[in-house]
């Protein structure tokens, strides 16, 4: 049986599954569990290799979907020295592109289960950078190493994980939604640490 999905801010807050109301956030959490079919393990630090892409700390990677343009982006709170701030520096927020290019809003409490970030397993403060070992709430067994450092006079970040069994920088997760909010597939996109080449992993239920 294929799971069904209602995406937040795009459909009613709950749907009926086998006669029972299921909150939308829980349905999306079930979607993200799909990723656990191909476990990701923590990857070694890639340092500040200049040939690999660097992301703004305001958007280290994002989740998008076929249903509309709205996205969930993940950011890192940093200080003037590009060091992570607080015990939970990574957070998600909405970019509501359906409403405009610069419209953002925080995740609501009931959306945290689907899109939220777990408390970091560790935060390493290094001489010229920092490393945060973290995971998304929807698939805690898949660690992400978020590396934060200064480059070209600004704070930047890289998210290191495994894609298709290879150490890679995670750029995005795309969700293709089918009939009655069923899930056709999810696509992880990144670049290989080894050579900077694009790599994708297509996951099915």
Q: What is the pLDDT of residues 147-193, one digit of tens each?
A: 999 998 999 999 999 999 999 999 999 988 888 777 788 899 999 99
Task: State the pLDDT at residue 50.
Answer: 64
Count of domains for the chain = 1
Q: Is residue 8 part of a domain?
A: no
Q: Is residue 27 part of a domain?
A: yes
- Count CA atoms closer than 13 A to 196's CA, side-chain side: 6
Q: Is residue 71 part of a domain?
A: yes
pLDDT band per the 50, 70, 90 thresholds, residue 104 = very high
Rounded Cα distance, 155 and 148, in Å: 7
Q: Is residue 159 part of a domain?
A: yes
Residue 73, pLDDT above cutoff 90: yes
Task: State the pLDDT at residue 108.
Answer: 94
- For 151, other C-beta atoms within 10 Å of its C-beta total 13
Q: Is residue 2 part of a domain?
A: no
Which structural domain, as residue segments, surrounds residue 192? 14-203
Helix (H, G, I), strand (E, B) or coil at 112: helix
> Which of the two residues, 140 and 9, has the higher pLDDT score?
140
User: Whole-model pTM above 0.85?
Assistant: no
Name the average pLDDT for the chain: 81
> Which of the two residues, 177 and 45, has the higher pLDDT score?
177
Q: Is residue 181 part of a domain?
A: yes
Q: Is residue 164 part of a domain?
A: yes
């Amino acid at each position: 049986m294929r799971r069904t999905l209602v995406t937040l801010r795009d459909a009613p807050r709950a749907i009926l599954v086998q006669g029972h109301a299921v909150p939308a956030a829980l349905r999306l959490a079930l979607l993200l569990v799909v990723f656990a079919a191909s476990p990701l393990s923590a990857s070694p630090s890639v340092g500040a290799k200049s040939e690999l892409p660097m992301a703004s700390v305001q958007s280290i990677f994002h989740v998008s979907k076929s249903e509309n343009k709205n996205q969930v982006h993940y950011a890192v709170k940093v200080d003037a020295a590009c060091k992570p701030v607080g015990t939970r520096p990574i957070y998600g927020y909405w970019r509501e592109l359906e409403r405009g290019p610069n419209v953002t809003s925080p995740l609501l409490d009931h959306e945290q289960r689907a899109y939220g970030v777990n408390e970091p397993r560790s935060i390493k403060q290094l001489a010229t950078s920092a490393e945060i070992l973290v995971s998304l709430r929807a698939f805690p067994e898949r660690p992400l190493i978020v590396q934060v450092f200064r480059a070209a006079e600004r704070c930047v970040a890289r998210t290191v994980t495994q894609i298709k069994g290879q150490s890679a920088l995670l750029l995005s997760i795309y969700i293709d939604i089918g009939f009655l909010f069923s899930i056709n597939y999810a696509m992880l996109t990144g670049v290989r640490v080894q050579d900077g080449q694009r790599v994708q992993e297509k996951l099915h239920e």
